[in-house]
Chains A and B, each alone.
Chain A
Amino acid sequence: MKYETVIGLEVHAQLLTNSKIFCGCSAKFGNPPNSQTCPVCMGYPGVLPVLNEKVLEYAIKASLATNCHINEESRFARKNYFYPDLPKSYQISQYEAPLAEKGFIEITVNEERKKIEITRIHLEEDAGKLVHTEGYVTSNKSFADFNRTGVPLIEIVSEPDLRSSQEAREYVRKLRTILQYLEVCDGNMEEGSLRCDANISLRPVGSKILGTKTELKNLNSFRFIQKALEYEINRQCMVLEAGEKVIQETRLWDPDQNRTFSMRTKEEAHDYRYFPDPDLVPFSIESEMIHQIKAGLPELPEIKIERFIREYEIPRYDAEILASSRELADYFEACAGFSSHYKMIGNWIMGELIRELRNHNRTVANCPVTPEILMGLLKMIDEGIISGKIAKYVFEEMFKTGKSAEQIVKEKNLIQISDQKELEEIIDKIVAENPKVIEDVLSGKKKAMGFLVGKVMKATSGKANPGIVNQILKKKL
């Protein structure tokens, strides 16, 4: 039987506020364990939570950017369960009356555009972290680090609109780009600032009824999202093909073994006993605040891509890559301010720049080659001072040293030889030395011509202007 995959995702995004959601503790990542705690986030007897206004602002930004409707009145709920990383034994989250509902984002997979609906976005506090394997854990004990306790999260829940692991991956990528554009989440999946759980089920193609789902946890990279879902699709398919039933359960992705395994079944599922948190009064969001935040939103990736295509007449493929981050897009536009060779600028950014950034493990923000420096290089190509080939070498040097193209070309004596006389002398010498090749050229072998050009380039250390060399050769032969 042929099956259709049905996937819905729950994405948790840590908000980039300075302080935690309900207390004044720093929300920074990576500091020594338990150095960022206070009686409030530790749930000491008698303390009370107070909502950080910045959290609300960031969450509203994310909601608006994903086309969600902001609920007029929203409230917090307690999710009750016992775990050593949860000092109050309940997590402050939202249940009924979440912050926002009924949104969507659009994704493109295999050149097909698709709308993925977002069920809801709600606010919650993060739990702490249990440490089992770090260097300072010497015995068979586990340790609890509460620095993360109370760090603000939004949970973005999608409708079961995704039909493949690829779509799921693309959805998360898109969501991440939006959150990064908004500067509300850094999107770092390794550090856990973006986390993803998936609900996945199969059903016979054509069926409208949802099959039994499993929930996958621990999908903390794009690769794992795709691999775990592929594994699970395969597993469920085999279960169904064998005439058995999929068990509703939570499964954990094990990246070492490349498989999912059962964590708990439906019967073992927690009863979280959600109820409205009496310590936090329902909060209403005034439409004026929404308008203000809306007006302050940056240009979002979708719109930027369309504008790049229109304004710079570059292919959609290029526009999508250039707009994949706000920094890169800004870099491109800064370059475009110097010259109208937009396609060429794009090529250099997508090719050399991105490659060198990756090789040197740098970001656009700390790239030594500024738009101005890059455009200096492109200008030299444009004016025929250096060849494209030499330019690539110059770019690498620029990246290493931060020097301008002009300086490097001068220092390394890389100016293109376009002088007719000088080139003619070199070519005459090569023609005289290679009579056999000349014969081949004359008998119409195209490769032979290339061989000659190569010889000229070699003789000039690549500095000969290839156009002029071709011209002279044709004339001579």
Chain B
Amino acid sequence: MTTATDVIRPGGGPSATGHAEEKDYLNVDNSIMSWLFTLDHKRIGLMYLASVLFFFFFGGILALLIRTELFTPGADFLTYFVSGKNAAELKLAAADLYNQLFTLHGAIMIFLFLIPSIPATFGNFFLPLMLGAKDVAFPRLNLFSFYIYVLGAFFFLYTLASGGLDTGWTFYTPYSTSTNTAVIASTFGAFILGFSSILTGVNFVVTVHKMRAPRMTWTRIPLFLWALYSTSLIQILATPVLAITLLLLIFERALGIGIFDPAMGGDPVLYQHFFWFYSHPAVYIMILPAFGVISETISVHSRKHIFGYGFIAASSVSIALIGFLVWGHHMFVSGQSPLASLLFSMITFAVAVPTAIKVFSWVATLYKGSIVFNAPMLNALSFIFLFTIGGLTGLFLATLATDVHLHDTYFVVAHFHYVMVGGTLVAFLAAIHHWWAKMFGRHYNEWCGRISAIFVFIGFNLTFFSQFVMGSQGMPRRYFTYDQVSPELLSIYTRMHQISTVGSMILGLALTFTLFYLAHSLFFGKKVHNDSDLRWTGESMEWKTATPPSPHNFHEQPIAYNSPYDFKEIDHSLGGGH
């Protein structure tokens, strides 16, 4: 107990073997009820994982339908799914279906996948473990959040069954108050999902403040938790504004209260202000946890102390705070004042500073590290590459003069997919591989993991880089057909759309492959009998418990004697951030 290393050995040192017969959180009780009414943050995390993956694949199929339609310039693929008396009617019905597809793709991916993706799954599972706590501060509230999520998801499924939704995921007024699709059901669903997100945020903030292991000072908290903490702040402070906005929209539609209706003296731009006051910070709800995952994986798989710990932690919080002040950059062409646009543009550029600090710190961590090219590391490297492109193209959109051109083109579509898919989804893949063996006590096939990471990267770039090209050539987003343009443009658009569609098929296959080998490993993967079977371990506390963890996480209270990034095999003279 005199040196740091022997105090924090996995499973509490020698006593770990004595507990070999003990049940873990997975097999402690196998009944359905023990899962449905569990208060264990790990099981709740897994229930979230199953749910978000379901909706991710659902949203993904919608995306593939969209991409298939766009393979050719005219209306064809979707006309097979609708009925009509003649060609014109068919085309109109197919166009309606197309509007519903992109709306539901966006709404499902954002509200049901991206926002809960990393925090509600890996956050729930690992936040208490990394803090050395037995559970989150409010376990019952945690389970309640999950069921609110399920309820909100049902509202979305109900939307699907009752006329769909064609407003785009942004629900802009006045169209959302006049369309005859199921706006109330879907906005109420989003409202409910918002509360799931808020309550998870409350739980995490309190847990980080009050449940840390002895001696875990704020500078010994793993960076994943700094990211989750910043995310929670946004969830708590921005999501209620979405809640009231959506309620007002429901009242507007049901009662016509007129706050957003110009005919009654209201202001539709006010809706956009309200909506983006949440929905821009929401972008950081989606990406900050991904930053946290990358900080963990880069450091563990290069066996090197994270470079610039304090700067990465502070940049998470500052991104969260600056994120509240940039919503107007979604409204450069919505008729807000030029002065407001100018200020929002300037503040938007400021976001690039903390973001760049992170990217440089990760690259500096890699420098002279002992890098292992396994699946989590390949995904993390892919993240750095893709996120950097996503981030830098954001600068074109933050610039007023170029945004006027690029607004509502595929350039914007490509930009946010580079951040949300190339960023959050790839980080999600990094996380799932990084922690898989710890969570389930089984190994996935490492070669399958590497192949999947490479094909996701290739498929993703084919899908979305082509969209940058066609967007810069003026291809508008949300268009059902693109056959009414000049021959030169038509040939560019067609070629780029075809590359994009082929890429999306590769991406879809790679992700389906990932699902299969991960599911396969749950039943047939090589078992982890003790911690020396793990292919890698980190120095943060989630690696200091049994694999899979016991129901109450730790047999003995772990104590944080040192930084979570002090790898014993590294040369301390190289360690950055000290």
Q: Say if A and B assemble together.
A: no
